[in-house]
Amino acid sequence: MAITTALWSFALVVGLLTLTPGLDTALILRTSALGHRGRAWGVVLGIQTGTLLWGALSALGVTALLTASHVAYEILRWAGAAYLVWMGARMLYATFRGRPAPEATESGAAAGADSLRAGWRQGTLTNLLNPKMGAFYVAMLPQFVPAGSNHFVMGLALAGVHVALGLLWSAVLIACARVLRGWLALPRARRTLDRVAGTVIAGFGVRLALGD
């Protein structure tokens, strides 16, 4: 398989994956719609940092060991599930207490309310604590590495394609979310968004814990 063909073929596969609504979409939309543009881009960069690391680790064969080791996979799966459930429950709890989630405070009183670094940390943890990303790269990456090519360099190139598509789609999501900002000035609208996003994120955590 020629390198150019491999890159385009991989772009088609991960492009469809990127467009499929999921945890990343919910997290980016919710953060951006609340007006935290800096934090939203931090989340985006964190998610793509995780993607690049999964690609690099897969190219090195490290994630193959994770897939082969049931204990290691289970530890990562439960850690990821706990983190997602905690994040979603935190959003839901804040709305039922009659206030927005801590990072959604409009006044910015909460530490790192619109912090690029806080968003990056959140996005990176969300991505790296999802063992399904590692399993995806272990299963898919070898199929798109041409014979005779440098596996590590080609793995980074393929992950780079995924990152580029993720950044483009995230830019679209953030632009669309800005349209909702006027509506979200209403306290009831904010609570609704946080309840929906919290339920979705916690739901992903439960699914991960159940192994679905």
- The predicted-structure confidence for 164-178, as pLDDT tens digits, reads as follows 999 999 999 998 888
Dihedral of alpha carbons 63, 46, 109, 85, sign: negative
Average pLDDT over residues 51-79: 78
Report which of residues 16 and 71 the model is more confident about: 16
Report which of residues 46 and 32 the model is more confident about: 46
Average pLDDT over residues 62-91: 77
| 1, pLDDT greater than 60 | no
**The pTM is what?**
0.76
Pick the closest to residue 158 from 14, 16, 32 (CA basis).
Answer: 14
Residue 162: what pLDDT? 95
Q: Residue 48: phi, psi to the nearest 5?
A: -75, -30
Owning domain of residue 91 = 3-16+23-210
User: What b/e readout covers 164-192, taking b as 16+ CB neighbours within 10 angstroms?
Assistant: ebbeebbeebbeebeebeeebeeeeebbe
Average pLDDT over residues 87-99: 77
Domain count across the chain: 1
Alpha carbon distance 159, 25 (integer Å): 19
| 210, pLDDT greater than 80 | yes
Distance separating the N- and C-terminal Cα atoms of the chain: 33
